Amino acid sequence: MKKFSVPFLAMLTVAAASLAVQAQRVQSNPIVTQAKHVTTTVPFRDMAPVPWHNLSKVMPEHDRAPRPHLSNAPDSVAQTVILPEVGTTNLLNFDGITDAQGGGFVPPDTNASVGATQVVETVNVAYAVYNKSTGALVFGPTNIQTLYSPLGGQCATGNLSDPVVNYDKAAARWVISMIAFNNSFSQNNLCTAVSTSSDATGTYHLYSFSYGSVLPDYPKVGVWPDAYYVTTDSFPNGGLFSGAETCALNRTNMLLGNSATSICFQRNTSDFALLPSDLDGATAPPSGSPNYQMDLATSTKINLYKFHVDFTVPTNSTFTGPTQLTVASYSDACASTGDCIPQPRPGELLDALGDRLMFRLAYRNFGDHEALVASHSIKASGSGKAASAVRWYEVRSPGASPAIFQSGTVGGGTSALAQWMGSIGMDKVGDIALGYSKSGKTAKPSIEYVGRIPTDPLGTMESASVIIAGAGVQTNSQHRWGDYSSMAIDPADDCTFWYSQEYYSTNSSFNFRTRLASFKFTNCQ
């Protein structure tokens, strides 16, 4: 285990947590559409691979918050005391999809999820399946557009970007989504595949949801009992940002391969990069619970929303909020330029994406309480002047009296190493794990994770474990890194974490590698 100096996270108790509630606005009159195409495939493993699409090597970037979050206040939840690592067991650790296998695009948008027997990884624009017990490659890597090719239209022939893979634990199905668009952004679609079994190489029900002339950028997907929730950022004709959009897709019908409805709410520019809650664990939310969604509000607040969907009477659907939760002051990492994460020469400065919460917004129902965990990259505090640190939160009771139960910041202090692009999750006993990238002027980008058990002081993480130390830096790739990573939980034991992230093995341009690693806390059985 590698120990590092991180700032001390001031403990936040429920009693001390500050909650500011605005007047609750209820948005109704949703946008209702039907899936444009519906079909069921032959087994994915038997489909003829579609050649890689002739796109630019750099995926288009439209996703920037209209305004940064800036604060001159010190970070009151910065951790300065290192806790000893007391209980994780590292399991598998192996390379996933590489740039050479993924069609040659950056950023890779590294993303993975774990099912009954398999791990599925997606990057721009490739798909691979691994045995979760051994790490052995089961299928791929192959062009993910192969999966959507039976749909026709943009999903079959257009440009694809921003893949997201989720495992629907209650149904034991895979949910694979991407956006598709033409060169002028006049035709834009969400392409979604729902497997017919727990075998990610088998058959899928396919759906194409049209967004018309609006590019639905940076989609994120949450699995919930009543729907698949998809959040996007709207850019009409690929132009100026017009606000976040959030949609509920009819999960019940999509699991059956039937016609599916999408019920959406368009937000204004005050909302950017909403995240939908994604269910972990075997216990469903209380009956009738809305999907919880969050985004950054100000340098001292985060927004919490509730999306209630009604597919029988769509006009009864509502999007309510925000409830604003007061958090410790922060500034976005790289707020002025977006590109400030250092690498050793000849590496370029990297994009931090500090203007948004990072995927996933993981939800869990413990019976006596509900909890959400989330993270984002902030400007680090301390004498080390690191470019970025990772702020994390645990929100409890989102459906009744939401409050910040605990929060903290990992990174900064006396260290000059930047930590960014995190993803967080929580296991069935309340252990929390946070993975991220780490880099500096003399340290090549590496992958680490930190964790905590429920008996640790609130707001603290234990010392870090290195997943892999990078041996190279990224050069001349327009500063793109990420745009996200993922922390998933194995549904079989509800204890094992799986983290996926990118790194470089040599100094190069457009030559990323990805890493998949699994681990668990020894107190989770």
pLDDT over 70 at 246, yes or no: yes
Asked whether 217 and 63 are in contact (CB, 8 A), the reply is yes
DSSP code per residue over 460-495: --BPPEEEE-----B-SSTT---S--EEEE-TTTS-
* Alpha-carbon distances, residue 98 vs 45, 107, 169, 506, 512 (angstroms): 20, 12, 28, 12, 6
Please give the backbone phi and psi of residue 430, each rounded to the nearest 5 degrees, phi first.
100, 5
Q: What is the pTM of this model?
A: 0.94
Per-residue pLDDT at 66 = 79
What is the architecture of the domain spanning 19-521? 7 Propeller (2.130)
> Can you tell me the mean pLDDT for 13-18?
36
Task: Tell me how far apart the alpha carbons of residues 256 and 265 are, in angstroms, rounded to a whole number.
Answer: 25
Per-residue pLDDT at 9 = 34
Helix ranges, 353-471 (H): none
pLDDT over 50 at 16, yes or no: no
**At residue 282, what is the residue type?**
A
Token pair listed for 390? 């990772």
Cα 203 from chain centre: 25
Per-residue pLDDT at 53 = 67
> Can you tell me the mean pLDDT for 299-322?
98
Per-residue pLDDT at 521 = 97
What dihedral angle (degrees, nearest 10) is formed by the CA atoms of 100, 103, 104, 105? -140
> Can you tell me the mean pLDDT for 305-330?
98
Asked whether 508 and 475 are in contact (CB, 8 A), the reply is yes
Burial of 24 (0-12, 13-18, 19+ CB in 10 A): exposed
> Can you tell me the mean pLDDT for 202-207?
98
319: pLDDT confidence band, cut at 50, 70 and 90? very high
**Nearby residues of 276 by Cβ (< 8 Å), 6 or more positions away:** 220, 221, 222, 224, 229, 230, 231, 246, 291, 292, 293, 307, 361
pLDDT over 50 at 304, yes or no: yes
Strand order from edge to edge, sheet including 465-468: 418-426, 432-439, 446-452, 465-468
Asked whether 431 and 496 are in contact (CB, 8 A), the reply is no
Report DSSP state, residue 251: H
Sign of the alpha-carbon dihedral angle for 150, 151, 153, 155: negative
pLDDT digits (tens, 9 = 90+) for 333-361: 999 777 999 999 999 999 999 999 999 99
> Can you tell me the mean pLDDT for 68-95?
91
Token pair listed for 341? 């994460």
pLDDT over 50 at 382, yes or no: yes
- Please report how many Cα atoms fall inside a 13 Å half-sphere around the Cα of residue 210, on the Cβ side: 13
Asked whether 382 and 414 are in contact (CB, 8 A), the reply is yes
Query: Of 407, 321, 307, 316, whose CA–CA distance to 17 is shortest?
Result: 407
Token pair listed for 146? 């192969």
Query: Of 362, 205, 337, 213, whose CA–CA distance to 281 is shortest?
Result: 362
Between 55 and 265, the more confident residue is 265
> Can you tell me the mean pLDDT for 425-449?
98
pLDDT digits (tens, 9 = 90+) for 388-413: 999 999 999 999 999 999 999 999 99
Cα 330 from chain centre: 21
- Please report how many Cα atoms fall inside a 13 Å half-sphere around the Cα of residue 86, on the Cβ side: 13
DSSP code per residue over 134-202: T--EEEEEEETHHHHGGG-HHHHHSEEEEEEEEEETTTTEEEEEEEEE-TTSSSEEEEEEEESSS-TTS
Token pair listed for 157? 């022939």
